Amino acid sequence: MSRSVVRLLTCGSVDDGKSTLIGRLLVETDSVPHDSIAAARFTRRSGSTIIAGEVDYSLLTDGLEAEREQGITIDVAYRSMSLRDGKRLIISDAPGHEQYTRNMVVAASRADIALVLVDATKGVRTQTLRHSTICAIMGVKRIIVAVNKLDAVEFSQEIYMQILNELTPLFSKLGMEDVRFIPMSALNGDNVTNKSLHMSWYSGETLLDAIQGWSPPVVSSSHTRMDIQLISRADEFRGVAGTVHGAGFGAGDQVLVLPSKQKATISKIITYKNDKATAGDLDSVTLVLEPDVDAARGDVIVNIDNPLEISNRYQAKIVWLHEEPLIHSRSYLLISGPTQVPATISRIKYALDVVSGEEKPAQNLQINEIGLVEIATDRPIALEQYAQSRQYGNFVIVDRLTQQTVGAGMVEYSLRRGSNITEQVYEVGRSDRAHQKSQKAQIIWLTGLSGSGKSSIANELAKQLFAQGAHAYVLDGDNLRSGLNMDLGFTPEDRAENVRRVSEVAKLMLDAGLIVITALVSPFEADRQRARSLVDAGEFTEVFIDTPIEICRQRDPKGLYKKADSGKIPNFTGIGQEYEVPRNPELVIDGTRPLLESVKFIMELLR
């Protein structure tokens, strides 16, 4: 299908001349209103050396007043122009500062062509390498390297070739096949839209030629799918609404609903105007299914003869965008289109050094780092390879507490073990086992600082429950670190994995019909919330043992505070590592009150 829009991303380091280059391109293709050009002749940035009366092209792309005051590009500025074949070129001018990498990543995820600028007077810089790597990872098909400001180095072919030879191995390693190098001067217009008269040694294309000569590659997909965006309900009516992608559906087609794999037949295809016999690529429709199967937002409708592979394990590249590092074993939200599912980074295989191209072992990813990871989702989802489908191969990672987007990911492939595992359903279930024990199965999650009294309270609570004939078991943090979790330390990553394992064991014991009491510091709110999310509402009770750290220090039953103060335990919670106070626990207990009184509060809550 012929595309009517081509998307161009401009990127590179600060002051490489992106805004000036795009401004000139727009002016020389008559894509800027004349009054804007007139304003750019007499408006000047602070410190500008451009003579009054000459056009300051950089002003034509910066959209924020803050950018003009600082002389930098902060946000992504969008402009458009017409190409000679009737297509529309959308230009995204990305910020060059490292702290705004997240803005650049968003623009790169939609770009067809990336224009990477390099200042000939400064050469290849770290941000040049980072942006080039991100563009390749985000699936940009053509990269144009504009070696800019050659007028400042007397149009030196030697400097141009040095930059070309430095970047070529990087693009080769990234697997980029369509890379064009163009020497130019954005300020003077050399090789922007017209051939330069100052570089007789260069006989290649201009920037405009390289843009207009691009054609989108044809990527064939045999799948037809519709991600459910909305469940449409009315009197005696229920349909699933979304946008169709692929060959299309027809009334009477048999389909599958994923991930549940329920079968149905399309009885009606409805648009806002009327009913249709078929729905083609990019049609927004409501499908009425027969029978009316249980489907929800984020589920996928596919043709029964050509189903998608679904999995709960994926390998993906991630660009980390947040000040707080990515921690494996911590639970985040993975969002792809209407699909939203809890997900855990189960393994960080490596972090990519954007300067050397080296793949380095890593325990976490820092802001703006790029890494290869393995992801486990709480339920199977239908993601595709990013190389085959940008739309269905991309996702964002969202912090479950702050709801901030912290990472952007691109699927490489699903892991075989994800599709090889099938959950077995047994006839004797949790409610049966709990009923046999005449009790309600639940998890009592005790959290607080070391020395707050968690283990003492857990012990007394278990005694009283036992005396009443209840079946309870205590999962104590230190006891588990002597066996199941003996391989874990006390870094944030290991603490997240410690809580993950304990919560999975607690879930199994809950399924056995037991009352499970956990007593471990579990310092991070996100990890505790992930534990809560594993079970149904009403089956998880968080109890915060609120004991001042001064009292914990005085008690110091294991001598840990003394060791932490001497530097022997650098990651000790409350001293070397933060404890995140629970936001909405079911119960807060003053850890300085008598033990029996504290247990009484919990027993009353259980009743």
Please give the positions annotated as active site: 522
Beta bridge partners of 303: 255
**What is d(CA 259, CA 3) in angstroms, rounded to the nearest whole number?**
32
Nearest to 407 by CA among 298, 339, 332: 332
Residue 2: CB atoms within 10 Å? 8
One-letter identity of residue 251: A
- Within 8 A by CB and 6+ apart from 206, the residues are 182, 191, 192, 193, 194, 195
If residue 377 lies in a helix (H) or strand (E), which one and from where to where? strand 370-381
Which conformational region is residue 403 in: left (phi greater than 0), alpha (psi within -120 to 50 degrees), or beta? left
Characterize 432-457 residue by residue with b for buried, 16 or more Cβ atoms within 10 angstroms of its Cβ, and e for exposed: ebbeebebebbbbbbbbbbbbbbbbb
- Within 8 A by CB and 6+ apart from 54, the residues are 41
If residue 344 lies in a helix (H) or strand (E), which one and from where to where? strand 339-352
Report CA-CA distances (Å) from 578 to 270, 458, 574, 575. 54, 23, 5, 7
3-class secondary structure, 407: strand
Beta bridge partners of 194: 190
If residue 563 lies in a helix (H) or strand (E), which one and from where to where? helix 560-565
- Within 8 A by CB and 6+ apart from 518, the residues are 443, 444, 445, 446, 458, 474, 475, 477, 502, 503, 506
Burial class (CB in 10 A: 0-12, 13-18, 19+), 174: middle
Compute the C-alpha angle 52/57/62, nearest 5°: 115
* E strands, 184-330, in order: 225-227, 230-234, 237-245, 249-250, 254-258, 262-270, 275-276, 278-279, 284-290, 300-303, 311-320, 326-327
